[in-house]
Chains A and B, each alone.
Chain A
């Protein structure tokens, strides 16, 4: 993979962070794709970069009843992710209010 860097806080990145912050349970990639309506080609690069920056973490779900099905990876936001998202939102606030 390419070198690690701070994730760019685009609209899609903020959307993913907000969905994870609002959800009480960890969400799989497919669930995030459904809620955010983002395509896999947009969603997964964001998830990979956020996880590398430790803004989110992930863990395997417990395998299904039959055990043959591929396991889902469940994502949840970290404290650092919440802080950075709120900080960014506060920075945007005055700018957004100008358009209100």
Chain B
């Protein structure tokens, strides 16, 4: 009884799968031929599509039609630049789509940490340099320090501690990150000096 049911189930399943495959084999060649012909220039497209469809109609059996359609796709790849365009869509676009959120996320994180916010630091540095008569020694005038400077110091200090905690101190960084960190370290040192001496 069990064996009979199993045999019946297999028979029904294989019939359904065969019908499904047959439908796909009828649908696929036309679809592939249309896609392949679309890769050609506009004035050539209709001609090549009709010619390939006529060739497909001449072939007996669905399997031969699918093989012919695959040959048409191969032709489009060989004769046009469809391969590079497809590679662009299949490889480059997903990479950009995956990478872009990561890059934006990292940028926002770094921005939130204040690493790239060097404009304000540069402006403050210029302000101090002007106030010190062109001298580059910073922190000579107590009044030039604002509350936000202390806030930055706290940020940089916590950043440095964080980096040390992660074992990143002494690691090789790319030049722009290194410059940004160095700037903030200088500011932190100068503020620390002021805090100790003023």
Inter-chain contacts of B182 with A (CB < 8 A): none
A1 beta carbon closer than 8 Å to chain B: yes
Q: Mark A32-52, 1 if CB is under 8 A from B, else 0.
A: 010000011111110011000
Of the candidates A33, A40, A49, the one having the most CB atoms from chain B within 10 angstroms of its own CB is A40
Q: State which of B41, B55, B71, B72 has its C-beta within 8 Å of the C-beta of A28.
A: B55
Minimum CB distance partner of B49 in chain A? A70
- Knowing A1-B40, A41-B70, A44-B71 are in contact, say whether A69-B55 is a contact too (CB < 8 A): no
The answer for the CA separation of A44 and B53 in the assembled complex, in Å, is 13
Q: State which of B40, B47, B68, B81 has its C-beta within 8 Å of the C-beta of A73.
A: B47
Residues on A facing B (Cβ under 8 Å): 1-2, 28-30, 33, 39-45, 48-49, 69-73
Q: List 12 A-B contacts (CB under 8 A).
A: A1-B44, A2-B79, A30-B58, A40-B55, A40-B74, A40-B75, A41-B72, A44-B79, A45-B78, A69-B57, A70-B54, A73-B51
Minimum CB distance partner of A52 in chain B? B79
Minimum CB distance partner of A58 in chain B? B51
- Knowing A1-B80, A30-B59, A41-B70 are in contact, say whether A70-B53 is a contact too (CB < 8 A): yes
The answer for the CA separation of A42 and B73 in the assembled complex, in Å, is 11
The answer for the CA separation of A2 and B40 in the assembled complex, in Å, is 10
Q: State which of B57, B59, B78 has its C-beta within 8 Å of the C-beta of A41.
A: B78
**List of 5 A-B pairs having minimum Cβ-Cβ separation, nearest first:** A40-B71, A41-B74, A41-B71, A70-B54, A30-B58
Inter-chain contacts of B161 with A (CB < 8 A): none
- Knowing A45-B75, A45-B79, A48-B79 are in contact, say whether A40-B53 is a contact too (CB < 8 A): no
Q: How big is the B interface, by class?
A: 20 to 34
**Is A73 a contact of B54 with CB atoms below 8 Å?**
yes
Interface SS majority for chain A: helix
Inter-chain contacts of B74 with A (CB < 8 A): 40-41
The answer for the CA separation of A49 and B80 in the assembled complex, in Å, is 11
Q: Mark B110-143, 1 if CB is under 8 A from A, else 0.
A: 0000000000000000000000000000000000
B11 beta carbon closer than 8 Å to chain A: no
Inter-chain contacts of A1 with B (CB < 8 A): 40-41, 44, 79-80
The answer for the CA separation of A29 and B52 in the assembled complex, in Å, is 8
The answer for the CA separation of A49 and B79 in the assembled complex, in Å, is 8
Inter-chain contacts of B52 with A (CB < 8 A): 29, 40, 44
The answer for the CA separation of A4 and B80 in the assembled complex, in Å, is 11
Inter-chain contacts of B51 with A (CB < 8 A): 29, 70-73
